[in-house]
Amino acid sequence: DGGITQSPKYLFRKEGQNVTLSCEQNLNHDAMYWYRQDPGQGLRLIYYSQIVNDFQKGDIAEGYSVSREKKESFPLTVTSAQKNPTAFYLCASSTRPEGIRANVLTFGAGSRLTVL
Amino acid sequence: RKEVEQDPGPFNVPEGATVAFNCTYSNSASQSFFWYRQDCRKEPKLLMSVYSSGNEDGRFTAQLNRASQYISLLIRDSKLSDSATYLCVVPQGGKLIFGQGTELSVKP
């Protein structure tokens, strides 16, 4: 079955360490997204990519970096510059940016990062 | 005014009740709207899309009021399994704006 796989599901990090969260999709979707969710808040967009080798900053990109070398993969690195990295991170994908179903997102199961 | 704002909740209702949530949006140019369901500590999943005045799927009805810039989600005959957080999503400027969510708890 097609879907999005995020790993790891749980991750603990010491302050000052960089960590990379994996996101792989086999839906043949062009667009991929990273969101952050904090308790009691809506999802906030970190980065998004509409095509391979191209990505744009979202609303809270500071302290994060991404790459999109393959259509299937969109890893997110949480750097030591991110001041409050403890959160639930969700990767999502959608079909081509244009078209009526462009805004229908399929999410991975999420990665829960805790900074000790 | 926030770009997307939802009823704060939580809503605590008995089984079988009818419950409605509202979501207001600020950009009058938005054309499509979405309701996602998110179970505790899980990922959001699409519940309904709204492209015109409304949409109905079984016990769930989504209505759009463009003049007042809000969408609503109505759940009839609530089930215990409907307990979740419901997220309103509005495309805006090439991005998707999520509301903070409305928590629903259905009790026996």
pLDDT at A101 (0 to 100): 59
Over residues A47-100, the pLDDT tens digits come to 999 899 999 999 999 999 999 999 999 999 999 888 899 999 999 998 866 655
Of A58, A100, A110, the CB nearest to B43: A110
Spell out the residues 6+ positions from residue B20 whose beta carbon is closer than 8 angstroms to its own.
B72, B73, B74, B75
Positions of chain B with pLDDT lower than 50, given as ranges? none
CB–CB of A110 and B42 under 8 A?
yes
- pLDDT, tens digit, 9 for 90 and up, residues A6-58: 999 999 999 889 999 999 999 999 999 999 999 878 899 999 998 999 999 99
Judge whether A104 is closer than 8 Å to chain B, CB to CB: yes
Verify whether the Cβ–Cβ distance A105 to B46 is below 8 Å.
Answer: yes
So what's the pLDDT on residue A33? 94
**What's the pLDDT score for residue B29?**
83
Which pLDDT does position A99 carry in this prediction? 57
| C-alpha to C-alpha distance for B74 and B76, rounded to whole angstroms | 6
A99: left (phi over 0), alpha (psi -120 to 50) or beta: left
